[in-house]
A and B are shown apart, each in its own frame.
Chain A
Amino acid sequence: MSQLKSERYPVTDEMREAFVVDIDFHFEPAMEKLLPYVDHPGAKRTLSLEDFPPTTRYWASGYATPHGGNGRQTHGVAETADDVIDVSEKLAIDLTVLTPGYNTLPDVQNVILKNEIVRAYNRYVLEDVSPAADNIKVLPALPQWDPERCVEEIELWGDNDDVVGFYGFFGHYSLLGNPQYDKVFDALVKHDLPLALHGGGTGNWPQKDLIGNSIRTWTEMYGLVHPVRAMMMVGNMIMTGVFDKYPELQIVMIEGGLNWVPFIKMRMDEVYQDHPEDIQLTERVTELGQEYLKKQPSEYIEDHFSFSSQPIDIPKKPKNFEAMLDMTNASESLMFATDYPHYTLELSNWAFESNVIDDELRENILHKNAERVFRI
């Protein structure tokens, strides 16, 4: 299986010399790699015959280009440890955090099949892939549709040295402020691990919704849906008191964008200060017996959230870029990511090409922030 479709990735000496951690390297082995780890006999039979279980078709970026495809394997596919090592070397990545590539999985209707895929994926990646190299770390998949199963996976793998956190979604699933997820947060905090949340879901916005049924373009679907969902997830977790109950919990938002962060910090603070009383009607804050949140919403964003750099939309004017980095608290919250092998791939070149990024900020973005939050 080819990993990189060509040698078209100009990597400079300074990119190679820098230590770079990639926090979003999608690892997407074919079903044949997972089948040896599938235990359920019926699931093993069906997955071997039918491959990945059906769901609504993924919205394809190919509709918006003359190149076709769904954009998810534009730059190849990594299925083995050797693939990861090879691609990482070519892209000047020194430490690779593997993220599951199955972003449509939560939409699969059959719970047994998707539970078995998660179980098998985590076993394969942690038993056969990450042990091959010290610089491969893993965000195992969480079966987010079932909090009890999430806890099982966290308890099973949480003490593994290669596990640096767990991987869920800010797609169109229950927002994680729902108290049913407290047991998941309990388990994460117990193992001192962060939760990484990535965009996901088959259609990104369900068609059976007036907004979803009105969307026509990839610019709307990819460009706006991920950030909107990411904003809603951040806001919901804060306003339902997740971080008052779990002051150690860290969340890493992957591929949701960055430039909206200053906006929601100011917007949420403003509205909350105007109208704070309904905070007392949320389940978790009621349980905690608090009248108000302990901090302003913007403070929770700064204290509990990090953001992947990909996709980074750099303002044309350097002074605007500098302000954006400052307002998003990038020196402490921004983590480099490639999004390999999706068409939206980014290399680290942008971090070397702007005169508003000094050496200290560059090091924080390229590796230090990730090392701190993921306990690498």
Chain B
Amino acid sequence: MTEHTVASAEDIPEGEGKMVEVDGLSVAIFNVEGEFYGVSNRCIHKGGPLGEGFLHSELPVINKDRKSIHCPWHFWEFDLETGRHEVNPSTGIRAFDVSERDGDVIVTI
């Protein structure tokens, strides 16, 4: 496992996301209420860029507590911790181990 510093925490304000390259992979990093999450940037449905998607908590939804991302193309929704599709958990995207340390956002792969 290797740690990769991918961004400064202050570059990703709460409620926003950022796409980064890690080890040749395109990873979408999100800041949800001060916690950082990372998932594959590519939606398994039609290839949409999840890094430009919509955070569930920022939408007018009933369950605001759910930490997930909606693809900007067709709105497929994935859990940010597990990568699982919210409606069909048998499928999903890759979720990465992301942490913050000393103001840096770190992805461990």
Interface residues of A (CB under 8 A from B): 6, 8, 10, 65-68, 343-347, 349-350, 353
Contact = CB atoms under 8 A, between A and B. Distances in A.
Q: How would you classify the secondary structure of chain A's contact residues: helix, strand, loop or mixed?
A: loop
Contacts of B75: 65, 67, 343
B59 A8 contact: no
Contacts of A346: 46
Interface stretch (B29-37, B48-56, B95-103): B48-56
Nearest to B51: A8
B46 A8 contact: no
Interface of B: 46-49, 52, 54, 56, 59-61, 70, 72-75
B46 A6 contact: no
A344 B74 contact: yes
A29 B44 CA distance: 33
Which 9 A-B pairs have CB atoms at the shortest separation, nearest pair first?
Answer: A66-B59, A8-B52, A66-B61, A349-B47, A65-B75, A8-B49, A8-B72, A66-B60, A10-B49
Given A6-B52, A8-B52, A10-B47, A67 B74 contact: no
A347 B47 contact: yes
Contacts of B60: 66, 68
Contact of B46 (A66, A67, A68, A347): A347
15 contacts: A6-B52, A8-B48, A8-B52, A10-B47, A65-B75, A66-B56, A66-B59, A66-B61, A67-B59, A67-B70, A67-B75, A68-B60, A343-B74, A344-B74, A345-B73
Given A67-B75, A344-B74, A350 B52 contact: no
A10 B28 CA distance: 14
Contacts of A8: 48-49, 52, 72-73
A353 B56 CA distance: 29
A347 B48 CA distance: 10
B86 to A, nearest CB: 12
B67 to A, nearest CB: 15
Nearest to B91: A316
Nearest to A7: B52
Contacts of B46: 346-347, 349-350
B48 A67 contact: no
B92 to A, nearest CB: 13
Contacts of B59: 66-67
Nearest to B41: A10
A350 B70 CA distance: 20
Nearest to B54: A67
Contacts of B49: 8, 10
B41 to A, nearest CB: 9
Contacts of B72: 6, 8
B22 to A, nearest CB: 17
Contacts of B54: 67
A344 B46 CA distance: 10
Contacts of B70: 65-67
A8 B28 CA distance: 13
A66 B72 CA distance: 12
